[in-house]
Each structure stands twice: as C-alpha cells, then as structure tokens.
Amino acid sequence: MEDNLPYETSLPTNHKLLDEKEKDPEVDPSVYRAMIGSLTYLTASRPDIMFSVCFCARYQANPKKPHLKAVKWIFRYLKGEPKLGLWYLVVGGLDLIAYEDADFGACPINRKSTSGGILALQEAACCVVIHL
C-alpha cells in the first residue's frame, strides 16, 4: 500500500460491491474482518469514512474480492487525507453524559418498541454532541 497513489474519495460514486451474474473469488474472512475492525475503530475520529466502512462491513460473513478491493480503496483514501478528522484536545477533565429513552410497544401500527439516545462529551468550554 505504500507505493500506491491515494484516492480523493472514500468510495467511488455508485460503487457496486457484488455483481449477481459473476462468481467472484472468496478472500480470507479473518483478514477482511481485521481490516474492517481497524477502520471501525478509526471512524471515531474520521466521520468522513463512516458510510464507506459500514457499507463494506455488511459483507463480513462472506467477503469476496470486490469487497476487499473496496476496503483497500478506503485505506488509500486515508493515505491521501492524513490530517482530516476530529481531534479531541484534553486540557481538563471530560464528562460523558448519556440520555436514553425507550417506549415499549409505542408504535400504533405494529406495536414495536421505539428508543433513542444522545451522548454528550463535555469540557468546561465546549460540547461535542453525538445523536444515536
């Protein structure tokens, strides 16, 4: 990967990972899962790759060669944008505040439960809010 040129996008537009007509060769699932795990960990500070990583994570059970190619595309994108992302500066203490609400059987159509939550990472001068 060191000799490859970086990409400008995390995945190409209208990228199809699997063609139903062709039989693509399978790849080692443990290697694919390790790569997806590394990228998932990185999404905490790089929200620009969140959609691409989640898109590729759907195929962890049976990864094929196009899936591995898409994950390598994301790595090449990260190579070209090393300074893009969120930086959490810790000067003092940080407080993590979480709120959760659940309404069991609230949907009038199918009686399914609904839930939602919010996480807030607060410092004395700023607040980062993440909606779930």
Per residue in 23-41, pLDDT (tens digit) is: 778 888 999 999 999 898 8
Contact 12, 52 (CB under 8 A): no
Share of the chain above pLDDT 70, in %: 65
Q: Given pLDDT bands bounded at 50, 70 and 90, which one contains residue 91? A: low
Dmax (CA) of the chain: 57
Of 63, 64, 61, 39, the closest CA to residue 51 belongs to 39
**How far is 111 from 26, CA to CA, in rounded Å?**
41
- What is the pTM for the complete model shown? 0.58
Does residue 132 carry a pLDDT above 50? no
Banded model confidence at residue 72, pLDDT cuts 50, 70, 90: confident
Q: 26, 29, 73, 83: which is closest to 53 by C-alpha?
A: 73
